[in-house]
């Protein structure tokens, strides 16, 4: 008899509480994009509902617990030309200090997994692409096989996909395709901006025509080091001397390890070994101070220095569409 009434009481309890619980569950299901524990224990060991992941509109979505998320920064290297000269004395070296006479001209694309893309340096002038060996003045030559835009296109990336653009400095072999990225945000030291955009007539080493379209771009004027994406993975490091606002780039790569892109702090391995300063640098003392700063930074971060113009080093690298992460 007791068991009979006990069962009846349990059914009555369910009849009374179920509508209330159902209303609560409906209320919970209106939450979007959250995980809600909708399970409720009823008398007699009965459980209504369970954990469910609510998407937009309250629909249940997969949890994807086993889905692998790629959180790595990626670094792509592009061949943006060659520069050759038989006389390297203007680089502050004697012609006996090294037998290297040909320099690599790179461009780099850095992809952050969640915060966008940064283009670093833009190579030789785009008009040289596919034209074969061309004179560069003072007996030097330059050659550019495939333009940066075409190389990016092979990866289904266009100028409109680049969120930020930054140049180690505004010399012709680093800004050759700059005008094509006028919709990107320009990250530039204020001192470089002043020299290259305001006082370029007094600095003939800058070719304003190569980057004039950036004059109206959105800009972030820097006055020192800058964390590009705000998480320490990609940092612009101020290193003046080669030009008033010369800068180098630190990229933290999870698998390869941290890398520092040198800009023109050094042109040759011998430049680093001998601490030589090119004759065309704007400030020798600043250059030497920047060398000290960067060498200290390399030690503290255990980063690998990529001398951008080092052809021998570049020939050991995998070019885009391959990448380092």
Give the domain ranges of the chain: 2-58, 74-314
Q: How far apart are CA 301 and CA 292, in angstroms?
A: 14
Q: How far apart are CA 117 and CA 187, in angstroms?
A: 13
In the chain, the percentage of residues whose pLDDT exceeds 90 is: 77
Determine the pLDDT at residue 70: 80
- Residue recorded with tokens 């012709």: 172
Q: What average pLDDT does the segment 246-258 reach?
A: 98
Q: What average pLDDT does the segment 1-17 reach?
A: 40
Nearest to 147 by CA among 107, 191, 116, 119: 107
Q: How far apart are CA 267 and CA 279, in angstroms?
A: 13
- Residue recorded with tokens 């915060």: 115
Determine the pLDDT at residue 1: 43
Query: Burial level of 21, CB count in 10 A (0-12/13-18/19+)?
Result: middle
Q: What average pLDDT does the segment 127-145 reach?
A: 96
Q: How far apart are CA 8 and CA 12, in angstroms?
A: 6
* pLDDT surpasses 60 at 44: no
Q: What average pLDDT does the segment 155-177 reach?
A: 98
Q: How far apart are CA 97 and CA 39, in angstroms?
A: 76
Q: What average pLDDT does the segment 261-285 reach?
A: 98
Q: What average pLDDT does the segment 135-150 reach?
A: 96
Determine how β-strand 226-227 pairs with β-strand 219-222: unpaired
Tell me the β-bridge partners of 220: 187
Tell me the β-bridge partners of 75: 110, 324
Worst-scoring range by mean pLDDT, 7-21, 210-224, 304-318?
Answer: 7-21
Total-model pTM: 0.79
Determine the pLDDT at residue 69: 59
**Using one digit for the tens of pLDDT, what is the confidence trace for 200-214?**
999 889 999 999 999
Q: What average pLDDT does the segment 173-184 reach?
A: 98
| DSSP code per residue over 253-294 | -TTT--EEE-TTS-SSHHHHHHT---TT-S-HHHHHHHHHHH
Query: Burial level of 49, CB count in 10 A (0-12/13-18/19+)?
Result: middle
Q: What average pLDDT does the segment 243-247 reach?
A: 98
- At 201, list the tokens: 């007539």
Q: In CATH, which superfamily holds the domain spanning 74-314?
A: Ribonuclease Z/Hydroxyacylglutathione hydrolase-like (3.60.15.10)
* pLDDT surpasses 50 at 22: no
Determine the pLDDT at residue 68: 52
Which H helix or E strand runs over 304? Answer: strand 304-306
- Residue recorded with tokens 């800068």: 247
Determine how β-strand 116-122 pairs with β-strand 164-166: parallel
Q: What average pLDDT does the segment 259-286 reach?
A: 98
Determine the pLDDT at residue 66: 39
Determine the pLDDT at residue 19: 40
**Using one digit for the tens of pLDDT, what is the confidence trace for 45-97?**
333 333 333 333 333 333 333 345 589 999 999 999 999 999 999 999 999 99
In the chain, the percentage of residues whose pLDDT exceeds 70 is: 79
């Amino acid at each position: 008899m007791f068991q009979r009434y006990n069962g009846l009481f349990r059914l009555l309890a369910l009849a009374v509480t179920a509508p209330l619980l159902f209303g609560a569950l409906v209320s919970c299901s209106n939450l979007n994009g959250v995980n809600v524990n909708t399970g409720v224990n009823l008398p007699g060991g009965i459980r209504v509902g369970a954990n469910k992941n609510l998407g937009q509109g309250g629909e249940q979505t997969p949890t994807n617990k086993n889905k692998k998320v790629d959180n790595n920064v990626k670094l792509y290297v592009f061949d943006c030309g060659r520069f050759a000269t038989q006389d390297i004395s203007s680089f502050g070296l004697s012609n006996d200090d090294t037998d290297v006479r040909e320099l690599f001209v790179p461009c780099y694309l850095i992809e952050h997994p969640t915060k966008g893309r940064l283009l670093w340096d833009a190579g030789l002038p785009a008009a040289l692409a596919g034209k074969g060996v061309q004179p560069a003045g003072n007996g030097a030559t330059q050659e550019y096989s495939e333009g940066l835009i075409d190389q990016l296109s092979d990866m289904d990336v266009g100028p409109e996909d680049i969120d930020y653009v930054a140049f180690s400095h505004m010399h012709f072999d680093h800004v050759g395709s700059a005008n094509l990225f006028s919709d990107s945000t320009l990250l530039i030291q204020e001192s470089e901006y002043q020299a290259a955009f305001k006082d370029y007539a007094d600095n003939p080493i800058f070719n304003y025509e190569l980057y004039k379209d950036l004059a109206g771009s959105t800009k972030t004027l820097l006055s020192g080091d800058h964390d590009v994406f705000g998480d320490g993975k990609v940092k612009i490091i101020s290193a003046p001397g080669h030009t008033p606002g010369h800068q180098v780039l630190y990229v933290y790569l999870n698998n390869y390890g941290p890398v520092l892109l040198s800009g023109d702090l050094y042109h040759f391995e011998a430049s680093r070994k001998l601490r030589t300063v090119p004759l065309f640098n704007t400030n020798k003392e600043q250059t030497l101070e920047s060398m000290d700063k960067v060498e200290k930074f390399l030690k503290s971060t255990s980063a690998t220095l990529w001398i951008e113009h080092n052809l021998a080093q570049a020939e050991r690298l995998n070019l885009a569409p391959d990448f380092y992460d």
